[in-house]
Amino acid sequence: MTVTPNNDYAETKTDRHLRVNAIAITTIAILCGAGYYKYQQWREPYREDLALHAVIRRLADHRPADMTPKQWESAVGWTNNLHCNSLTFLAPAESIRKLRLYIENKLAENENSIDIETIHLIWDLYANLCPAGKRYQRFRKLMTDEIESGGGN
C-alpha cells in the first residue's frame, strides 16, 4: 500500500497561519486605536494645565502695592506649589481653561486688580477643580501665616 501526502493538511495549516496573523494584526490595530484615543483624552487637559501654570507664574510680576516683595513672592510661591501638587491635568480641559481665562482676565484688567484676595480666590477655585487641589488646602493656613509674618525666608 502506497501512502500519498494529504494536501488538505497543508491547506489547513496555511489557513490557520492566516487566521492567527489576521487576529494578531486586528488586535494590534485595536490597541493602537485605543492608545491614540487615550492620548487624545490626555492631550488637551495637559496643554491647558501647562498654560495655567504659565499664568500662575506670571502673577509674580503683578505685586500689589500693599504687599512687600517677600510677601508677594511667598503668596505666588505657595500658589505655584498648589498648582504643581494639584494634578490639574486630571480635571476636564474645559474646567482648567475656565480657571486659566479667569486669571488671565484679572491680569489683563489692570495692575490693581491682582491682590491677596485674588490668591485666595485662586485657592478656592483649585479646591473645586480637582480632589488634589482640595486636599492641598491644608497648607493654606501656612501660606497665610507666612505672608502675615513678612514673607518667606
DSSP letters along 41-85, please?
Answer: HHHHHHHHHHHHHHHHHHGGG---TTS-HHHHHHHHHHHHHHHHH
74 is a domain residue: yes
**Based on the structure, what is the number of domains in the chain?**
1
85 is a domain residue: yes
Please name which of 145, 143, 129, 4 lies closest in space to residue 74, comparing C-alpha atoms. Answer: 143
Q: Does the pTM exceed 0.75?
A: no
Exposed e or buried b per residue across 77-87, where buried means at least 16 C-beta atoms within 10 angstroms of its C-beta: ebbeebbeebe
Domain extent at residue 137: 44-148
128 is a domain residue: yes
pLDDT tens-place string over residues 66-111: 999 999 999 999 999 999 998 887 888 899 999 999 889 888 886 6
2 is a domain residue: no
Query: Does residue 7 or residue 58 have the better pLDDT?
Result: 58
71 is a domain residue: yes
